[in-house]
Structure 1
């Protein structure tokens, strides 16, 4: 950025992202498919760009190792950390899903998958588990014991019921009879109003970044922070948006605009963010700094297509941790 240029007024995270999430996002952006370990000192300096203290950064590293999400090694007095085997494939899959989510709405045959169940009051824990896992599949509660989804999820629902040992339940794939009360419309089970507002807020918050990019006002440090926080902010949408067919979406649905803003910023900030990642790493190891790289949406699409039978199968610590985190979130949100 040229000397004397005004500093870009960029959005900042409304709540500081959790250090473990920041670190996995940074390594997922700039260090996957690398066997080399990065010294802890360099990772501490990377997280310092996000106002994470040294103690907080080191605690995050230890916890990620304990969860199987980072490997550690020692050379003399230096501790270093790297991405475990088979995790890079998972990162590519999840990043591809994150970057492509919202580009199109799914096709719909007009049918709903309905799960109707009755679980006794004394089995409250089982009922909570069932609701949480139905929500994780993409269902929403139309009534207390009637959950719906426009997606063809009958097999998944039956499998879930078997896993939980629930036989007082029925799974249907059916159409709605026209002319019913508005409050009984299956789409009313989904809180699209709140989601629309969240997409609108995301767009309003980040559109200014594009203006700053056009004006050449973003420094490498700003690029790294903004791109990483953008990724963290967007990642929740593929998890909370039920991805309904276009026929069921409100007229003011703001996801297409939000998705375009996200994708443009993610791609355009990549080179500057990589430069900052390299700058910080070079203060500890210039040799390792040369190995860092970013990937834009086109490169991720190519990597994803090349995975073939190396695609993840749900058995890595990274995937298991993601499922556990998401299950905990939905259990705490609306049980």
Structure 2
């Protein structure tokens, strides 16, 4: 678990609900629980600032960091996918994006590819990306962000054979590999969930330990954002482990939530404005969790 990724997780699951900014001293204290030292935290924060994810603010002799507008948008997108446990109903249409970005804009092309994968697009063929999900707004946002309207064509279409829709899925994603990753997650965390639930009931698990375990849980589960396109149920294999993994994540997350948040607030209240907490945020019933 690299320091940068852990900081993203902390912002996504905690800090953004408490005014979105944090004293660097508190961030160092939180990351210490995971074995990250001060030097690593400061280096990661500096790198994230240069990449446009964080912005700094000085108050007296203290430095505070908050997510940029770009960072907030990415955290919102990620949270909506992490805590959404069932896909939207499919309209039967495919979103198709084709591009011919010239070699001199190779860096933009590489960034676009990363964004498309993260958003859930799959590659039907070189430079042809598809998704059954309504990602129209996302596509138009990417076109505007990278200023590539001259190189992009975007279609909303129906598949008319000669095979079934599953044929497009098989060409564009390796669902067998994704399913295996979900199975590994279930095998590991189903046992940990039972053990930790019993320890919490017996008072044998500290708030700090719950904080560490919940953060690790979110950190591991959010990795599926980079591999699982979130396909509609009609396009998934009959034996799909994603739904089981989502329910396990939800149950485990809620079990750890209260003590984990107690620890967060106990550290955060020193040097930060804890009164900026979002009143709508309920740690036991995450506002984005949907059945």
Query: Normalized against structure 2, the TM-score is what?
Result: 0.73
Q: Deviations over 1:246-301 (max 9, x none)?
A: 1211122111111111111222211211233344457xx38967988974362424
Unpaired runs of 5+ residues, structure 2, are: none
Distance across 2 between alignment mates of 1:127 and 1:89: 23
| Matching residue within 163, 169, 180 for 1:197 | 180
Confirm or deny: 8 A CA contact 1:33 1:88 kept in the other structure: no
Alignment of 1:313-332 (within 5 A): none
Per the alignment, do residues 22 and 192 of structure 1 end up closer, same or farther by CA in structure 2, a change over 3 Å counting? same
- The aligned residue for residue 6 of structure 2 is 22
Q: Deviations over 1:91-143 (max 9, x none)?
A: 88346404432x223323444344566x5997793876765565455332223
Alignment of 1:1-335 (within 5 A): 16=1, 18-32=2-16, 34=18, 38-66=22-50, 67=52, 69-75=54-60, 78-83=61-66, 90=73, 93-94=76-77, 96-101=79-84, 103-115=85-97, 119=100, 125=106, 134-135=116-117, 137-144=119-126, 146-152=128-134, 160=143, 163-166=148-151, 171=155, 173-179=157-163, 185-188=167-170, 189-216=172-199, 217-281=204-268, 285=270, 295-296=282-283, 298-301=285-288
Distance across 2 between alignment mates of 1:32 and 1:111: 35
Per the alignment, do residues 51 and 149 of structure 1 end up closer, same or farther by CA in structure 2, a change over 3 Å counting? same
Query: Normalized against structure 1, the TM-score is what?
Result: 0.65
Per the alignment, do residues 57 and 141 of structure 1 end up closer, same or farther by CA in structure 2, a change over 3 Å counting? closer
Instruction: Measure how far apart 1:243 and its partner are.
Output: 1.5
- SS for the counterpart of 2:58 is strand
Moved more, 124-133 or 268-277: 124-133
Confirm or deny: 8 A CA contact 1:114 1:146 kept in the other structure: yes
Q: Deviations over 1:43-62 (max 9, x none)?
A: 32221111001211222333
Confirm or deny: 8 A CA contact 1:140 1:149 kept in the other structure: yes
Distance across 2 between alignment mates of 1:111 and 1:87: 29
Instruction: Measure how far apart 1:81 and its partner are.
Output: 1.8
Distance across 1 between alignment mates of 2:178 and 2:78: 21
**Bigger Rg over Cα:** 1
Instruction: Measure how far apart 1:194 and its partner are.
Output: 1.2
Confirm or deny: 8 A CA contact 1:234 1:262 kept in the other structure: yes
Unpaired runs of 5+ residues, structure 1, are: 1-15, 305-335
Distance across 2 between alignment mates of 1:274 and 1:132: 33
Per the alignment, do residues 220 and 70 of structure 1 end up closer, same or farther by CA in structure 2, a change over 3 Å counting? farther
Confirm or deny: 8 A CA contact 2:122 2:129 kept in the other structure: yes
CA RMSD of aligned residues (A): 4.2
- The aligned residue for residue 328 of structure 1 is none
